[in-house]
Amino acid sequence: MANLNGVKKQIKSVNDIAQMTKAMQLVSAAKMRRSRVLHDSVTPFFSLCAESIQEIQNSSKDADMDNPFFVLNQKTKGETWKVAYFVLSGDQGLAGAYNNNMVKIAEEHVRKKILENTAKGISTDYKLFVFGKLAREKLIRNGYIVDSEFSFPITEPNFYQARNVGEIIRNQFLNHEFDLVYLIYTNMKSAINMVPVVMRLLPVDLKSISSILPENLEDAGLAIGKGATIEYSPSPNAVLNYLTSTYLNAMLYGAMVEAYSSEQTARMTAMDNATNNADEMMKSLQLIRNRARQSKITNELTEIINGATQANNL
């Protein structure tokens, strides 16, 4: 009897968990769909911005282009690379290995950069700026240098947040606080294919930008005819400076939306798996319960029959 009651309690607990994970799965699915709408709306704008920057560089390659956002300074032995990493993770758990993957790729890139520079006799001075509290806390525990004052949520990202972060990056880069700025986030190619990305945000690397843009945007942009000439006012540098700020904001906003969408997709998948596991456990517990009930009924029938037999013998 006690065993049967214990199985019933387990069934109730598993059923409660299954209801909770199913609800979380539905919520994550709704958030993921909203984030994909945001992403699809910002991607053409970002693509146009990137193409415009590329067009200015191509048309002005013979001119004296003096733009700090596009110049990758070289370091010699004894000097120091100052590197900033902006890592986009989540604020909540129950998303499978999503947050752990962001921590892992950040740690691997930092170690790789330090080893490469050490082999060349160059020092590395790095700092991690982490969106979301889970990865930030783990990186601090693991002994990495994390900016404790930088705190931006990744939940429901908006363009104003991206603009504020972009302004921070732009000012720090112009003040020579950092020589390199990397952006680490998850690129959601599909619901089952989410790829962690490490891209150089500054100095601008247009090759890496083109590699993460959707293939169906290859015809988007300025549609400038081959051989056409464009005049930039007041100068190509001035237009490039303006576009760089726009590029930073768009890149950050796109990455924030990608990261948020990836987190919700990972949580949706994790909750779906948890719900399926709970259903399988329910089936096993129900089978155990049925066997226990059958055993109880059999014992009761046996006792009745034995009692009746003894009564007849008397």
**Residue 181 scores a pLDDT above 90:** yes
Q: Say whether both 92 and 215 belong to one domain.
A: yes
Average pLDDT score over residue span 74-82? 87
Segments forming the whole domain that contains residue 298: 2-21+272-306
Q: Say whether both 11 and 97 belong to one domain.
A: no
pLDDT grade for 193, boundaries at 50, 70 and 90:
confident
Residue 311 lies in a domain: no
Which tokens belong to 207?
A: 């090759």
**Residue 286 scores a pLDDT above 90:** no
Whole-prediction pTM: 0.79
Cα–Cα distance for residue pair 209/70, rounded to 1 Å: 13
Q: Say whether both 179 and 60 belong to one domain.
A: yes
pLDDT grade for 182, boundaries at 50, 70 and 90:
very high
Q: Say whether both 231 and 276 belong to one domain.
A: no
Give me the pLDDT at residue 218, please: 47
DSSP for the chain? -HHHHHHHHHHHHHHHHHHHHHHHHHHHHHHHHHHHHHHHHHHHHHHHHHHHHHHHHHHTTTS----GGG------TT-EEEEEEEEE--SS--STTHHHHHHHHHHHHHHHHHHHHHHTT-EEEEEEEEESHHHHHHHHHTT--B-TT-----SS--HHHHHHHHHHHHHHHHTTS-SEEEEEEEEEEETTEEEEEEEEEETT-HHHHHHHS-GGGTT-S--PPTT-----SS-HHHHHHHHHHHHHHHHHHHHHHHHHHHHHHHHHHHHHHHHHHHHHHHHHHHHHHHHHHHHHHHHHHHHHHHHHHHHHH-
Average pLDDT score over residue span 245-252? 84
Q: Say whether both 97 and 177 belong to one domain.
A: yes
Average pLDDT score over residue span 16-29? 80
Q: Say whether both 29 and 58 belong to one domain.
A: yes
**Residue 186 scores a pLDDT above 80:** yes
Specify the residue for token string 């607990």.
13
Give me the pLDDT at residue 59, please: 66
Q: Say whether both 195 and 300 belong to one domain.
A: no
